Amino acid sequence: MPPSHISGSRTTFRRLFIVATGECVIEVRNLTKKYGQTIAVDGIDFTVEPGRVTGFLGPNGAGKSTTMRIILGLDQPTTGETFIKGQKYSDLQSPLSVLGSLLEAKSVDKGRSAYNHLAAVGATMGIGKVRINEVLDLVGIESVARKNASKFSLGMSQRLGIATALLADPEVLMLDEPVNGLDPDGILWIRNLLKSFAQEGRTVFLSSHLMSEMELTADHLIVIGKGKILADTSMAEFISRSAQNHVKVVTPDSGKLKVLLQNTSAEVIGGDGDEIELNNITAAEIGALAMQNQIVLHQLTDVAPSLEDAFMEMTQDSVAFHGHGEK
Amino acid sequence: MTQIQTPSKFTALKVSFPKVLKSEFIKFKSLKSNWITLALTVAAIIGFSVLSAILSEHRPNGGGDGEHRSTFERVMTGANFAILIISVLGSIMGSREYSSGMIRTSFTAVPKRLPVLFSKLITFVYTVLPLMLISIFAAFALGMSLFKHYGLAVMHLSDPFVSRALFGYAFYIVGLGILGLTIGTLTRHTASAIGIVIGGVLFLPALLGALLPTSWQKILEYLPSNAGGAFLNPTPLSINLLSPTLGALVFAGWIVLAIGGASYAMQKRDA
Q: What ipTM was estimated for this complex?
A: 0.91
Residue of A nearest to B21 (CA): A124
- Residues ≥6 apart with Cβ < 8 Å to A138: A163, A166
Contact B112 A74 (CB under 8 A): no
Q: Of A2, A110, A120, which is closest to B100 when you measure between CB atoms?
A: A110
> How high does pLDDT run on average in chain B?
91
pLDDT for the residue A20 = 47
Cα dihedral value A173, B21, A106, A118, nearest 10: -60
Quick: pLDDT tens for B150-186: 888 889 999 889 999 999 999 999 999 999 999 999 9
Rounded distance, CA A45 to CA B77, Å?
A: 63
Quick: pLDDT tens for A79-111: 999 999 989 999 999 999 999 999 976 789 999
- Does B105 reach chain A within 8 Å, measured CB to CB? yes
- Does A112 reach chain B within 8 Å, measured CB to CB? yes
Quick: pLDDT tens for A225-236: 889 998 999 988
Quote the percentage of chain A above a pLDDT of 90.
56
Put simply, the chain A residues between 306 and 325 with a CB less than 8 A from any chain B CB are none
Rounded distance, CA A67 to CA A40, Å?
A: 9
With vertex at residue B41, the alpha carbon angle to CA B37 and CA B43, rounded to the nearest 5 degrees, is 115
Q: What phi-psi label fits residue B19: left (phi over 0), alpha (psi between -120 and 50 degrees) or beta?
A: alpha
Cα-flanking dihedrals φ and ψ of residue A52, to 5°?
A: -150, 165
Q: Of B7, B13, B271, which is closest to A74 when you measure between CB atoms?
A: B271
- Does B12 reach chain A within 8 Å, measured CB to CB? yes
Q: What is the DSSP letter of A306?
A: P
Mutate to test the interface with A, among B3, B5, B14 (most CBs of A within 10 A): B5
Contact A76 B270 (CB under 8 A): yes
- Residues ≥6 apart with Cβ < 8 Å to B198: B84, B87, B88
Q: How many CA atoms lie within 13 A of B207 on its CB side?
A: 7
SS3 for B223-246 is CHHHHHHCCCCCCCCCCCCCCHHH
pTM beyond 0.80: yes
| CA distance to partner chain A, nearest, from residue B185 (Å) | 15
- Does A97 reach chain B within 8 Å, measured CB to CB? yes
Q: Of A2, A50, A106, which is closest to B5 when you measure between CB atoms?
A: A50
Question: Euclidean distance between the first and final Cα of chain A, in Å?
Answer: 60
Neighbour-count burial of B179, counting CB atoms closer than 10 A to its CB (0-12 exposed, 13-18 middle, 19+ buried): buried
| CA distance to partner chain A, nearest, from residue B262 (Å) | 17
Over its C-alpha atoms, chain A yields an Rg (Å, rounded) of 24
Contact B104 A107 (CB under 8 A): yes
Contact A98 B7 (CB under 8 A): no
- Does B36 reach chain A within 8 Å, measured CB to CB? no
Contact A249, A224 (CB under 8 A): no
